Amino acid sequence: MRSTQEIKVGLLGLGVVGGGVAATLLGQGDALSRKIGRRLVLEKILVRDPAKARPADVPAALITTNPEEILADPQIQVVVEVMGGAQPANRYLQDALSAGKHVVTANKEVMAKHGPELLALAQQRRVHLLFEASVGGGIPIVGCLTNQLLANDIRSVRSIINGTTNYILTRMAHQHTDFPVALKEAQERGYAEADPTNDVEGIDASYKLSVLAYLAFHQRVPPENIYREGISRLQAQDFRYAQELGYAIKSLAIATLEGGAIQARVYPALVPLDNMLAKVDGVYNAVEVDGNLCGRVLFHGRGAGREPTTSAVVGDLVEIARRMDGAGPLPPVAALERPWPIRPIGDLRSRYYLRLTVADRPGVLAQIAHILGERLISIAAVVQKDTNLAEQTAELVITTHSAQEASVQQALREMTGLSVVRRVNNLIRIEE
Ligand code: NAP
Ligand code: HSE
């Protein structure tokens, strides 16, 4: 006889995260049911490849390749989506919510691209859609922005939310290696995928930032409106010079609400060595939220991997199990009558680090300083670094005071046209 305390769960995906969720539900069912007063019963698991070897502790009878065995089964009350990708995940989530099932997802791409519509559907169907694992792995940032920090007007979210890039940048800083070497090592250690584009080009971080900005500002900030730069242009000497200037280089995902507009960006930046974000190393993630009531709050932890992500997914399942009977709070839906405009990157004001290879002869610095001066870009410091006697070139590192991005980009174009400027090696923003 089936206990009335049972909650039947359908799992879409049995990979890194799905394997962890299945192992927890199957192996720790008793402990979990003692904690929450209900039993989470794993009823079916959807996979793509029926021939693939599966963990020994997962009964073969649970596995299916037919999504309808989960989505159309009236006994299944909660669907956990850990497949990844926008489709068919979005369609399955819509079907599950439309059928009145609660949903937990770890999928940042689906939440960034379709989250507001899915949350509206969940609200309409009076079911829960929770997505803690979609950002920051085991860090409970989604729940905190949704609930505990809700009373705040959030001013900014500054974060390191891609563990793969943070690992690569940490290796480049500490081992003085170039990007391709650090990337290869990240792939060998299983952090970076064979095709690392999503991580190293900031796409993964832009999806996660889109989710965070939605929760922080109660308004959709689509990934395509998030300015994005990857980390592949960084070279070993950028880390050396940054260190000498008192900075670390981190790939930051930042969303701010200032002067009546939102700005969202993902790019490598110089961060003062005494800033907490500069100390976040390896595959770790961190999210700093600045709210008008709470001030600055920093979350730090493991942003990916089977165990931390399982912690977040099962946490969402527990929350649903606890809320199921009562009216419970409905999922957050952006409700601003007049949404904030989203500022283009050209409007950003920032300090800059610029590294150029120039002809090593008199008058060169004057030409560069003239271009910067014409664009109202004030130089903070200039250092001449390595010289190449054979080529008769020198490397110049210039830092600026706060300037407007559009002016800096224009100045760069003009500098590129100077015969004495051999290469613009890098332009990196300085986040104080
Ligand atoms: P994964 O290891 O690639 O596993 C994906 C699973 O989904 C596999 O079992 C695969 O089936 C199944 N699947 C994929 N497409 C399918 C389809 N069309 N039909 C049926 N089954 C399908 O992925 P993962 O690393 O576990 O990530 C899952 C989700 O969690 C993603 O949204 C990811 O962004 C998110 N996430 C991952 C981590 C992490 O550390 N890995 C951290 C936070 C969030 P087969 O086994 O048959 O191939
Ligand atoms: N690829 C992601 C990262 C993990 O490196 O942070 C999943 O969110």
What confidence score (pLDDT) does residue 332 get?
Answer: 60
What confidence score (pLDDT) does residue 2 get?
Answer: 45
CA 125 / ligand 2 centre spacing (Å): 31
Task: Point out the ligand 1 atom lying closest to the alpha carbon of residue 50.
Answer: 47
- Nearest residue (CA) to ligand 2, atom 8: 304
**Least confident piece of the model among 68-77, 141-150, 259-268, 385-394:** 385-394
pTM for this entry = 0.96
* Average pLDDT of the residues in 326-330: 59
Of 12, 21, 47, 284, which is best to mutate to test ligand 1, by the most ligand atoms within 8 angstroms of its C-beta?
47
- Check pocket membership of 205 for ligand 2, CB cut-off 6 A: no
pLDDT for residue 226 is more than 80? yes
Percent of the chain scored above 90 by pLDDT? 90
What confidence score (pLDDT) does residue 337 get?
Answer: 59
CA 13 / ligand 1 centre spacing (Å): 5
Of 11, 12, 16, 95, which is best to mutate to test ligand 1, by the most ligand atoms within 8 angstroms of its C-beta?
16
Residue type, position 259, single letter: G
Mean residue pLDDT of the chain comes to 94
* Average pLDDT of the residues in 413-419: 96
Query: May I ask the CATH class of domain 6-137+306-323?
Result: alpha beta
Of 11, 12, 17, 62, which is best to mutate to test ligand 1, by the most ligand atoms within 8 angstroms of its C-beta?
17
pLDDT for residue 407 is more than 90? yes
Query: May I ask the CATH class of domain 142-302?
Result: alpha beta
- Check pocket membership of 303 for ligand 2, CB cut-off 6 A: yes
* Average pLDDT of the residues in 13-27: 97
- Write out the residue limits of the CATH 3.40.50.720 domain(s) in the chain: 6-137+306-323
CA 285 / ligand 2 centre spacing (Å): 10
- Write out the residue limits of the CATH 3.30.360.10 domain(s) in the chain: 142-302
CA 23 / ligand 1 centre spacing (Å): 15
- Check pocket membership of 111 for ligand 2, CB cut-off 6 A: no
Question: Topology of 346-430 in CATH?
Answer: Alpha-Beta Plaits (3.30.70)
- Nearest residue (CA) to ligand 2, atom 7: 304
What confidence score (pLDDT) does residue 385 get?
Answer: 85
Phi, psi of 382 (to 5 degrees): -130, 130
111 near 118, Cβ under 8 Å?
A: yes
**Least confident piece of the model among 127-136, 275-284, 319-328, 368-377:** 319-328
CA 79 / ligand 1 centre spacing (Å): 14
Dist. CA 364–CA 126, nearest whole Å: 67
- pLDDT per position as a tens digit, 378-394: 999 999 987 888 989 99
**Which residues are annotated as catalytic?**
208
pLDDT for residue 3 is more than 50? no
Kind of pairing, strands 78-81 and 102-105?
Answer: parallel
* Average pLDDT of the residues in 84-89: 97
Q: Which residues line ligand 1 (CB under 6 A)?
A: 13-18, 46-49, 52, 82-84, 88, 106-108, 133, 137, 304-305, 309
- pLDDT per position as a tens digit, 301-316: 999 999 999 999 999 9
Task: Point out the ligand 2 atom lying closest to the alpha carbon of residue 198.
Answer: 1
What confidence score (pLDDT) does residue 1 get?
Answer: 40
- pLDDT per position as a tens digit, 155-201: 999 999 999 999 999 999 999 999 999 999 999 998 888 999 999 99
- Check pocket membership of 163 for ligand 2, CB cut-off 6 A: yes
Of 65, 70, 82, which is best to mutate to test ligand 1, by the most ligand atoms within 8 angstroms of its C-beta?
82
CA 97 / ligand 1 centre spacing (Å): 20
What confidence score (pLDDT) does residue 432 get?
Answer: 87
What confidence score (pLDDT) does residue 4 get?
Answer: 42
116 near 339, Cβ under 8 Å?
A: no
* CA distances in angstroms from 189 to 55, 167, 175, 397, listed in the order given: 21, 10, 16, 34
- Check pocket membership of 304 for ligand 2, CB cut-off 6 A: yes
* Average pLDDT of the residues in 23-44: 94
pLDDT for residue 398 is more than 50? yes
120 vs 334: which has the higher pLDDT: 120
Phi-psi region of 142 (alpha: psi -120 to 50; beta: other; left: phi over 0): alpha
What confidence score (pLDDT) does residue 329 get?
Answer: 54
What confidence score (pLDDT) does residue 190 get?
Answer: 87
CA 387 / ligand 1 centre spacing (Å): 49
pLDDT band at 41 (very low <50, low <70, confident <90, very high): very high
